[in-house]
Structure 1
Amino acid sequence: MDGSRISPALRPCRPPLRRLFSPRAVGALMLREMATTYGRSPGGYLWAILEPVAGIAILTFAFSFFFAAPPIGSSFELFYATAMLPFALFTTVANRVSGALVFSRPLLSYPVVTFVDAITARFVVNLLAELLVFYIVITAILLMFDTRAVPDIARIGEALALAALFALAVGTLNAWLFLRFHTWHVIWSLISRPLFLISGGLVLFERMPQALQAVLWWNPLVHVTGIMRSGFFPDYPDSYTSAVYVCGVSLALLLAGLRLLSWQAKWLLLER
């Protein structure tokens, strides 16, 4: 029998393809994220600003006693801010994305909400918050202190974009690891603690021993810090940095995380 002659009403219906991304679901999840993360107390957004400011102030206070001037530039505040702020953006966004599926687990039982929606919502909300913090803190430092900096908007934007991409990639892979291995929370906490020290935050990369440079070069955050500092200090030698390398590592981790989640996210959420 010719299938073309079968009545449309009698033809088997194919189930509709499930979308991986829904703007309406992302918007609703973003509102939920803002209400729960920053809106529970009046100091929610204020603390997001005070935390990096406190870290910069402590480092400035401590090291200004031992050194007459920072390794580059004339402002301890700007020197540490150019490392701490992109690092804070990475850690905050990566950690928030890492817990996106656990945080939105009740909503993921609905067919209209996918793991991509949950990750996207958390990524966008926390990235925008960290970019606002970056703008406020950097503007305050440039206005309050004699930094003699010459900001290069393109380089600064490049560093922020690389930090955001790497945070999304690490967070997406961690989202699967957090569900798959219950001890990964502890392991990740131990791994992430020394990251600031090995990302060029306190000591310039080019002043480290060559043997150490050969190892730390593979840390994408070293490149982010170097590019960020070159955005404020034109004479900073950043020839060791590679945006292509950071993008390559980030895309590889991101694709791996998305692939693993597409296979096992539903099963792992039900198992928990």
Structure 2
Amino acid sequence: MRLARLGPVGAELPVLVDGDRFLDLRALTGDVDGAFLAGDGPDRVRAAHGAGTLPELAGAADLRVGAPIARPSAVYCIGMNYAAHAAESGSAPPERLVMFMKSPNTVIGPYDDVEIPPGSTKTDWEVELGIVIGRRANRLASPAEARAHIAGFVVANDLSEREWQIELSGGQWSKGKSAPGFCPTGPWLVTPDEVHADDVRLTSFVNGEPRQNSRTSDLIFGIDEIVYQLSGYLALEPGDLILTGTPEGVALSGRFPYLGDGDVVELEIDGLGRQRQVFRAS
């Protein structure tokens, strides 16, 4: 299934994307949130779709596309999880999982404009595979248990202000990761049965020029390993978002300029859809 949320900020409507149709889910749930994902919500959607009882949402094509999940309780991020990106960052590939966090209020729609923070000169893009948790995961016994706790996958842009992240960090990365709008997400939440997320291509473009081009099979720590390891340190709650890392090809490499007013960033992951953001000076 491909789930989405359409409408103005704070008033998005849950829908099932069925080809070029958007089917209204309000009879089944008020939102695509943790309670819906942890309960029997997805199963009820499948059953209603199979029975043909979901109505089309009138005027859906004219509505804003929001993030496909309601604001999560947490956004966890994995750093330097592609060897080539670690190298362009000046680091060796990590031997242990590197984790940092973004504020949940960074999550916005996939086509929303993004404000470059006041004073920023090093705003950078990062295409990433996002994992959405469907069942609480705490102290899993093995990576083999992880997939049962995953509701689906999304495209995410782990935007970063590199000066704040690195030069002014004080030792922590999150300062450069949590500006408003710094996590465009979507357009869809795609359930695991619809995509082989362990090996899909992810790409990014700035003003139409290619930047990143890799596959999730190049992850140092794979999907199941990430969920398993994180569950040993914390409790992953339904609706939480995990960003799995970005491949090489970002401005931090020194090969490309950082983002400025009017720049357009496009991201795509096979089977998960495409994003487009226009960046605006504050």
TM superposition score normalised by structure 2: 0.26
- Relative to its length, the structure with more helix (as a share) is 1
- Relative to its length, the structure with more strand (as a share) is 2
TM superposition score normalised by structure 1: 0.27
